[in-house]
Structures are given as structure tokens and as C-alpha cells.
Chain A
Amino acid sequence: GAVVSQHPSWVICKSGTSVKIECRSLDFQATTMFWYRQFPKQSLMLMATSNEGSKATYEQGVEKDKFLINHASLTLSTLTVTSAHPEDSSFYICSASRLVGEGELFFGEGSRLTVL
């Protein structure tokens, strides 16, 4: 199977600071990556679709100025949580697929963000 790597796996930051999370497809090119947020014992909530070379597509209710997504290359997408607050504390997980919309999603390890 394909490998998706996410970094960092966990991060603790102070309120008001920004945190960047990286998602890399290690052995395939991903024109599209997805960012999910997962609260404890809850489902994977799609936040946005990251498109290489163009703007991300955000789901309803997700603040695009709060969660900045950049997909600068076919193997890297980044999620920046700007001016983080305690309510942003969550598990963020990225995924990528070789076939957009119909292919198996390969997930990163996830990043647990704790905002103090």
C-alpha cells in the first residue's frame, strides 16, 4: 500500500500561536489530499480538500482563515492552525488517494494538537 507520513505526531502550544502540520505522500504523487479533524470517540470530519497548485476547498463551517492549507507540490500538503485557541485542540489527520473520489484513502499517522 501507499505511505502517507504526517508530522508532527503531537504538539503542544500556547494560545495565540500558530502551528503547522505537514502531510507527505512518500511513494506516490497526490494531486489531492484531505484534512480531517477527529474529536475523542467521534468520527472523521472532513475539513477541506487540498488541491495541488490551487486553493483548497473548505467544508461548510470551517474557517479558511483559521485553517490555512497549502499544497505546494504533488507530495506535500500543510495545514496551519492560526492563532490557536484551546477549542482547536484535537486530532488532525490527513489522507491521500491515488484515484480522486474512488480510490482507497491512505491516512497519515495523525497529529494531536493541544492548545494551552
Chain B
Amino acid sequence: GENVEQHPSTLSVQEGDSAVIKCTYSDSASNYFPWYKQELGKRPQLIIDIRSNVGEKKDQRIAVTLNKTAKHFSLHITETQPEDSAVYFCAASSSSASKIIFGSGTRLSIRP
């Protein structure tokens, strides 16, 4: 089955700097890669996703890149703000598997 690895487990960046979180997946059939943000005590919320037919997607300060050959994808947050502090999860799935597998999570802290 699918296995998703995520790094780093914790990340601290200065406000205004960029943050990068990286994930790898094992199942070459995976074709959908969402990123979720979970604030303390709250449910995970989708922040951006990418499908296997594109290599990059951007939404304001957030971007995701996908390298299908290497089976890795990354989340990029630019101009970080205090409200970006949260736990971020990457995930991968395929229509055939009918389930989404999550990475281990990255706790992002933004230093003022």
C-alpha cells in the first residue's frame, strides 16, 4: 500500500521568511496530493492540492510542486505570518485505492 513520508517534523522560521515542507510517496499509481493545515484543537482543513497532470500550483502565498518521476512533492509558504503556525500534513491517494494516506505532519512555528 501507499506510504507517505514527511520532513521535517518541526520547522521554525522567522516571520516574513519562507517555509518548505517535503513529502515522498511510494505508490506510483497515486495521482492526487492534498495538503492540510490543522490548528491546535481544530479539524484539518485543505489548503491546496495538486493532481498528477500538473507540476506546480500556486494560490497566493502557498505553492505546491510535484515531481512524479522522483515521487516527491513539496509545500512552499512565502512571506510567512503568525497565523501560518500550525501542523501541516501532506497526503497521497489514487482513485483505485479509494483512500487518502497522510504523512506524519510538520509542526510549523513562525517567530515574530
Contacts and interface: CB of A to CB of B under 8 A. Distances in A.
A102 B95 contact: yes
Interface stretch (B42-50, B62-70, B72-80): B42-50
A26 to B, nearest CB: 14
Interface residues of A, number: 22
Which bracket fits the contact residues of B? Answer: 20 to 34
Contact of A101 (B44, B49, B94, B102): B94
Given A49-B99, A102-B95, A104-B34, A43 B43 contact: no
Interface in B70-108: 89, 93-105, 107
Interface in B3-21: none
Given A49-B98, A101-B99, A108-B43, 17 more contacts: A34-B99, A42-B104, A43-B104, A43-B105, A45-B102, A46-B99, A49-B99, A93-B43, A97-B100, A100-B98, A101-B95, A101-B98, A102-B93, A103-B32, A105-B100, A107-B44, A107-B45
Interface of A: 32, 34, 36, 41-46, 49, 93, 97, 100-105, 107-110
